[in-house]
Structure 1
């Protein structure tokens, strides 16, 4: 599948925004008094961060190949 460079730039921008929000969410949950109560939410957010980091890496590689 072919993607335009503008589409890749926008996708990366959106992913960066989501990553920032997820990282803030993790900080919030980890600062809660009873952190064990939020363990599953923290795990889910961390897994999503990892998935978006992989997506960002792949987008960056694709953008570099377009140059």
Structure 2
């Protein structure tokens, strides 16, 4: 599969959307009456956020690399 700039941009868009939703989920769970009840779910969501943010960083780096190659 050839990875194009368009593929990378769309993947980044999807990851950004997922990150936003996960952050909202964390806020909701932490705002519950007894957030300790949701500790494992909060931890999982935060770990996923970190992983997705790393993915976004790498995608952005690849987009920059592709842009530099096309100059």
Question: Normalising to structure 1: TM-score of the pair?
Answer: 0.97
Cα RMSD, aligned residues only = 1.0
Consecutive unaligned residues of structure 2, counting only runs of 5 or more, are none
Question: Normalising to structure 2: TM-score of the pair?
Answer: 0.91
CA distance in 1, matches of 2:2, 2:55: 16
Q: Which protein is bigger by CA-based radius of gyration?
A: 2
Q: Determine if the alignment matches structure 1 residue 39 to structure 2 residue 42.
A: no
Consecutive unaligned residues of structure 1, counting only runs of 5 or more, are none
Runs of 4+ in 1 over 4 A off after TM superposition: none
